Amino acid sequence: MKELLNKEVENLRNELVEISEYMYHNPELGNEEFKSVQKLTSLLEEHNFIVEKEFLGLKTAFRAVYDSNKPGLTVGYLCEYDALPEIGHGCGHNMIGTMSAGAGVILSKILDEVGGRIIVYGTPAEETDGAKVIFAEEGVFEELDAAMILHPSNATSKSGTSMALYPLQFTYKGKTAHAASCPQDGINALNSVIQLFNGIDALRQHVTPDVRMHGIITNGGVAANIVPDEAVAQFYFRAAKKETVTELLEKVKAIAEGAALMTGATLEMERFELPYDNLVTHENLSDAFTENLKELGITEFATDKIFGSSDIGNVSHIVPTIHPNIGICDRSVISHSREMADATVTKLGHERLITGTLALAYTGYDVLTKKVEL
C-alpha cells in the first residue's frame, strides 16, 4: 500500500513544490495568511476534502475532512503558514503547511480501502497567538486518534519536547507630578516596574534550571521631568512543564504586588497572548515516524530535544502527538533567519518537502491500519 503512496506523492510533486515556493515569495503574518490559506484549501478541495473556512470564527483557520464513510480511526495533520516580520518564512512554515496538506491528500487516495477519516487543520499565527490553543480549548482535537506536524530545521531529529509558556503583562498606575518642583506629590509607576525586574532577577537563583524568565518595558513614561503615572512590562515565563510554570507564576505575582506596595502604585496583571503547554511526545507514534523516515533514506538524527515553545504542546495534552524535525540545510543555519527561509526553496529543501510529506502519510497509514499502539 505504501507503494501507492509513493506513486501519489510523485503525481503531486510539482504542485507541492509550487505551493511551498508561492508561500515563500508571499509571506504573511499571523492571522493575515489569506493567500496561503487559499493555496492550501484549493489543493484540498481539488482532492475532494470538505473544507470549512474561517473555522471557529478565525479568518485564516480551516478544517478539511476526507471521510471514507467506513469504520476506522481519525488522523489529523496540522498546517502552519504564518511568517515572521521582515524575515519571511524563517521558521519554514511554508513547508509545514504544504507537507501537512500534501500528506492528507496522498493518504486520502487509499482511505476508501483502509477506512477511517483524515482531517487537515489550518492553524494560523503559531508565532504569536497560536490558533491551536483556541482549537484545544474548544475541544476540536478530541475528534482525533493521532495528530502530526513536521518542522523543517537545520538537522533531522525525533519528536522531543517544548517548553510551556505563559505571557503576562504588568501595568502599574501612579500619579504624575513635576519631577523637579514637586516630586513628593507623584507616585512613580516606573519605579514599580524597575522593582519588578529586580525581584524577578532575585528569583532566578531559586528556580529550577529549565525555567526561563524574560521581559521588556513597553511603557516607561513620556518625559524625564514628569513622574510616570503609568508603566507597563511584558514577560514570558517558561519551563519544561506547565505545572512548573503554574507554580512560578504564584511567586512572580507576589513579587509584582510587592513592587506596587513599595511605591504606592496600583497593579493590573493580564495575559497578553495565548499560553502554550509543553509538548508531550507520544513515543510509539514517534518511533513509527522515525522508522518511516529511515525507510525513505534519512538515517542520521540529531539529539536535540528542547526547542522553545509552540502551541503544538496544547494539542499533545489531548491526543497522541508528534512534532519531529526534518533537516533541510547545514547546522550553521539558524531558525528564524533569512538563511533558513531561503533553505526551504533549495533543491534539498524541495526533496525534503517530498520526503517529509511521504513520511507523514506513511505514519498516517500505520495509524489507520493499527500498526501503532496509541
Q: Give how far Cα 355 sits from Cα of 75, 291, 301, 351, Å.
A: 19, 13, 15, 6
What count of Cα atoms within 13 Å lies in the side-chain half-sphere of residue 276?
28
Which of 155, 159, 152 lies closest to 342, judged by CA? Answer: 152
Whether 367 contacts 104, CB under 8 Å: no
Angle at 235 between CA 304 and CA 183, to 5 degrees: 155
pLDDT reported for residue 307? 64
Per residue, the 3-state secondary structure of 338-366, as one string, reads HHHHHHCCCHHHHHHHHHHHHHHHHHHHH
What's the grid cell of residue 270? 493580564
Which of 98, 106, 268, 248 lies closest to 166, judged by CA? Answer: 248
pLDDT < 50 positions in the chain: none
What are the tens digits of pLDDT across the range 312-358?
A: 999 999 999 999 999 999 989 999 999 999 999 999 999 999 999 99
Domain range summary for the chain, segments of one domain joined by + = 1-162+276-369, 164-271
Q: What is the CATH number of domain 164-271?
A: 3.30.70.360
Q: Would 1-162+276-369 and 164-271 be classified into the same CATH topology?
A: no
pLDDT reported for residue 225? 96
pLDDT reported for residue 303? 78
pLDDT reported for residue 306? 57
Whether 97 contacts 80, CB under 8 Å: yes
User: Which architecture, in CATH terms, is 1-162+276-369?
Assistant: 3-Layer(aba) Sandwich (3.40)
Whether 60 contacts 34, CB under 8 Å: yes
What are the tens digits of pLDDT across the range 142-160?
A: 999 999 999 999 999 999 9
